[in-house]
Amino acid sequence: MKRIGLLGGMSWESTVEYYRLANELVRNRLGGVHSASILLDSMNFAVMEKLQSAGKWQEAGTMLAGKASALEAAGADMIVLCTNTMHIVADSIERAVKIPVLHIVDATSARITQAGLKRVGLLGTAFTMEHSFYRDRLSAAGVEAIVPERSDQATVHRIIYEELVRGIVSDESRAEYAAIMERLVEAGAQGIILGCTEIEMLVTPADSTVPLFPTTQIHIETAVEHAFH
């Protein structure tokens, strides 16, 4: 079994899910008391959030590239960046290491294609919804992504940063997300990408009239599959 290098802490609430799911998947695959081989670097999200807000993406990329390089030196066989937003600097991380960096958009687009869908809604942080890095990579894989209107984007972002990254999950916010997802469906979305790892704490398939693509689950499933090949 290969060793998974998790680059997390952005936020730790979602990184916990990466760690839990990886171990559950390995146990389900091998049985008994088997668990995953993992190296984890969990950074202080307050530092990264400040860089995000200031638009200092190059500095953020340099920081994450250094951490990925350290994971490689410690024996990781792959890098899994436990966040959607920071894949905006995935190229910097890829240049810093020789081991594979398993891109969350590649894993997600493959799952969407397997489902036979061509047009999906994308929920995430404002950075993920406003910047083109996510939609462009989906488009290269033959998947069109649409985002909510501006006011809905603001609601999605606010709930992530004011609630979910702090571990707060409320029925009121779940209802707001359900309404936003339904508006995306009305705009032609055949499925919805939960393009922020924390959103999976809030939204379940019962909240949507179309298939959901939970990126945390998809990403770590891809990593565990890679660990056995």
Report pLDDT for 202: 96
Domain 104-214: which CATH number of 3.40.50.1860, 3.20.20.80, 3.30.60.50, 3.40.605.10: 3.40.50.1860
Domain 4-103+217-227 has CATH 3.40.50.12280: no
Q: What is the per-residue pLDDT for 169?
A: 96
Tokens of 175: 């209802």
Name every residue whose Cβ is closer than 8 Å to that of residue 127 and which is 6 or more positions away in sequence: 52, 85, 88
Enter the DSSP assignment of 89: G
What pLDDT was estimated at residue 6? Answer: 98
Please list the ranges in the chain whose pLDDT falls under 50.
none
**Active site positions, annotated:** 83, 196
**pLDDT given for residue 206 in this prediction:** 94
- Cβ(191)–Cβ(203) below 8 Å: no
- State the pLDDT at residue 146: 97
Give the global pTM. Answer: 0.94
Domains 4-103+217-227 and 104-214 share a fold: yes
Q: Where are the domains of the chain?
A: 4-103+217-227, 104-214
What local confidence, expressed as pLDDT, does residue 61 receive? 97
* Predicted pLDDT of residue 181: 98
Q: Which residues contact 180 (CB under 8 A, 6 or more apart)?
A: 123, 148, 152, 155, 156
Residue count of the chain = 229
pLDDT for the residue numbered 170: 97
Own/partner pairs, 14-21, CB within 8 angstroms, 24+ separation = 14/82, 14/83, 14/197, 14/198, 14/200, 14/201, 14/216, 15/40, 15/42, 15/82, 17/197, 17/200, 17/201, 17/216, 18/80, 18/82, 18/197, 18/216, 18/219, 18/220, 21/216, 21/217, 21/220, 21/221
Residues 6+ apart with CB under 8 A from 213: 108, 111, 112, 120, 191, 192, 193, 194
